[in-house]
């Protein structure tokens, strides 16, 4: 494993390169257009969920482009926005601090901002839009999600799947270049990760969205807003103008019958619950006090007791 790849990583990525990509994206003026579109599609699914969370956590909130949609869906919920980037977190804290008592009364409860490793309120809903493919250790992140949720809390997330950018990979392969991006994780593997992280009843599904552009330069500009190349085999160092011209010419192979360049994106959606803890059956079983309290509270809710 290369020196700059984390030994704990569950994905074959250059961890430092991925971290640099995340910092750049977090400091953009606005989140990517595709993130906003996926957020809108995810929010449509909230209509069939009866859960009305008192506390919701919006993970990597800025790039998730979901703040207005979540506010509209749950105007009375206390919101905890998690930001991985220090600068973005400071910006979000400053914006939240400007909300006075009148804004809280008109718009909703106060907003909290924290880092991923900091403790926060237990949430009935944890929302993570288009960020799982930007971490080097998805199982570790899922364990964080599990800890951040209340018992019977609900997880909703989206990410890119391996069907994304197949045309771009074909272009790079034809040129004899290393892969243009780190591999994405199959939705079935993500479901298995959820189960191993303690979640119950995971449901995974996907859809393909095709984006088009008038020219190769516009395509590259949009791809840069969506991330970068953290693959272990990527070419190190800077690229030359001659390399870029060769890439622009090669991307013409993606032009469709309508005259526009086309790329497919596989959008993967995941849903899961944090179920009450279940002690293992044995001759003698030891249950932590907090787990026992969670099981009692869950039992009361299921029987209607107060």
Contact assessment for residue 232 and residue 2, using Cβ atoms and an 8 Å cutoff: yes
pLDDT at position 303, please?
A: 44
Written as six digits, the tokens of 84 are 């991985």
Angle at 120 between CA 114 and CA 126, to 5 degrees: 90
- 3-class SS of residue 33: helix
Q: What is the DSSP string of 126-163?
A: EEE-S-GGG-S-HHHHHHHHHHHEEEEEEEEEEEE-TT
pLDDT at position 48, please?
A: 83
CATH number of 15-275: 3.40.50.150, 3.30.565.10, 1.10.10.10, 3.90.1570.10? 3.40.50.150
Q: C-alpha dihedral over 14, 16, 18, 24, to 10 degrees?
A: -150
Q: In what order do the strands lie in the sheet with 149-160?
A: 111-114, 78-82, 55-59, 123-128, 149-160, 261-273, 200-213
Determine the Cα–Cα distance for residues 191 and 266; give it in Å rounded to an integer: 16
Determine the Cα–Cα distance for residues 293 and 18; give it in Å rounded to an integer: 40
Predicted confidence pLDDT, tens digits, the chain (306 residues):
343 444 444 578 999 999 999 999 999 999 999 999 999 999 999 988 888 999 999 999 999 999 999 999 999 999 999 999 998 998 888 876 655 444 444 445 578 999 999 999 999 999 999 999 999 999 999 999 999 999 999 999 999 999 999 999 999 999 999 999 999 999 999 999 999 999 999 999 999 999 999 999 999 999 999 999 999 999 888 889 999 999 999 999 999 999 999 999 999 999 999 999 876 655 565 666 666 566 556 555 544 443
Helices (H), the chain: 15-26, 33-45, 61-64, 67-73, 86-97, 101-107, 138-148, 166-175, 187-196, 216-226, 241-250, 289-303
pLDDT at position 93, please?
A: 84
CA-based R_g, the chain, Å: 21
pTM of the model: 0.85
Contact assessment for residue 222 and residue 232, using Cβ atoms and an 8 Å cutoff: no
Q: Which residue, among 184, 185, 183, 132, has the nearest Cα to 155 in the 3D structure?
A: 132
Q: Which residue, among 131, 125, 127, has the nearest Cα to 31 in the 3D structure?
A: 131
């Amino acid at each position: 494993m290369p020196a700059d790849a984390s030994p704990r990583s569950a994905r074959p990525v250059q961890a430092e390169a991925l971290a640099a990509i995340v910092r750049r994206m977090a400091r953009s003026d606005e989140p990517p257009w595709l993130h906003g579109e996926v957020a809108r599609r995810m929010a449509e699914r909230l209509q069939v969920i009866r859960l009305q969370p008192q506390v919701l956590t919006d993970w990597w909130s800025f790039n998730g482009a979901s703040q207005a949609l979540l506010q509209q869906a749950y105007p009375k919920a206390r919101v905890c926005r998690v930001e991985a980037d220090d600068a973005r977190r400071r910006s979000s804290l400053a914006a939240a601090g400007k909300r006075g008592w009148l804004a809280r009364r008109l718009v909703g409860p106060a907003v909290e901002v924290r880092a991923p490793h900091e403790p926060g309120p237990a949430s009935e809903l944890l929302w993570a839009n288009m960020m799982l493919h930007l971490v080097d250790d998805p199982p570790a992140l899922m364990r964080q999600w599990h800890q951040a949720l209340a018992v019977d809390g609900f997880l909703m997330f989206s990410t890119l799947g391996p069907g994304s950018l197949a045309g771009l990979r074909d272009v790079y392969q034809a040129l004899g270049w290393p892969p243009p991006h780190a591999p994405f994780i199959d939705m079935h593997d993500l479901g298995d990760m959820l189960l191993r992280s303690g979640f119950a009843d995971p449901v995974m599904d996907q859809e393909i969205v095709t984006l088009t552009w008038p020219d190769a330069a516009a395509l590259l500009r949009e791809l840069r807003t969506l991330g970068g190349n953290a693959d272990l085999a990527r070419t190190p160092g800077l690229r030359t103008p001659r390399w870029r011209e060769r890439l622009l010419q090669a991307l013409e192979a993606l032009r469709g019958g309508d005259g526009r360049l086309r790329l497919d994106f596989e959008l993967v959606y995941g849903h899961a619950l944090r179920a009450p803890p279940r002690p293992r059956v044995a001759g003698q079983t030891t249950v932590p006090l907090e787990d026992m309290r969670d099981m009692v509270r869950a039992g009361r809710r299921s029987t209607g007791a107060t």
